[in-house]
Amino acid sequence: MMTNRRLAPMLIVLGLAVGGCATTGPGPGPDPGSGPSVSGDGFAGLTVLRSSVSDVETSLGLTTPFSAPQTEDCSLHIWADDGLAVTTTAAGTVLAFVMQGPEASTPQGIAVGSTAADLDAAYGSALTVIRRDSPAGGPVVLVDNRTSDESSHLAFDLTADGDVARIRVGALPWVGYADYCSDEASRPESTGWPL
């Protein structure tokens, strides 16, 4: 799944495709700390591989989401109105988060709407393309190159224009899957909010 290709060449190509000149687009999102914080370890104080769906609901004040198993040992939970999805083990332990809402941001200020240039400025050579085909139309980029399944990773779905469409945080391989539980999982149409 990992290609070990760095993001810099893709940023150059995206920059040329978008016009090849400096523009004043959206900044890197909200000021760090103004919304739920996203890090390589988790989201809003919830830690990947140590939190449960119940913890997510209690901590964030959410009601029961759409929940459905996708594979024998992995389930998807979606809070569509909050722009949040969680992948869990069959027992309910969080494997990965995906955020589509604009209020979540990294300590570096990266949020939905940030540009590829913002990502490069924030993370530079730590960015690695792990998928070329995210559900948002561009690549999925990982913030580090740790390959341990026991560690959690921060990643971003980019649009074809290079803007951040979704923020992901989770354990490998789930953080990179198109449907989180598997690249081949069939997500029911009734989920209402695509990953």
Q: pLDDT by residue (tens digit) across 8-30?
A: 444 433 432 333 333 333 344 44
CA 38 to chain centre: 10
Residue 153 lies in a domain: yes
Residue 22 lies in a domain: no
Q: Which two tokens stand for residue 2?
A: 């990992």
CATH number at residue 119: 2.60.460.10
Nearest CA to 97 out of 193, 181, 168, 192 is that of 168
Residue 26 lies in a domain: no
What does pTM read for this prediction? 0.75
Residue 124 lies in a domain: yes
Query: Alpha-carbon distance 7 to 39, whole Å?
Result: 19
Instruction: Give me the domain span that covers residue 122.
Output: 5-17+37-179
Residue 27 lies in a domain: no
Q: How far is CA 191 from CA 33, 48, 69, in A?
A: 30, 23, 12
More confident residue, 6 or 159: 159
Q: Any idea which of 86-90, 98-102, 149-153 has the lowest mean pLDDT?
A: 149-153
Query: Alpha-carbon distance 186 to 167, whole Å?
Result: 22
Query: Alpha-carbon distance 69 to 58, whole Å?
Result: 21
Please report which helix (H) or strand (E) contains residue 10, including its range.
Answer: helix 8-18
Split into its structural domains, the chain has a count of 1
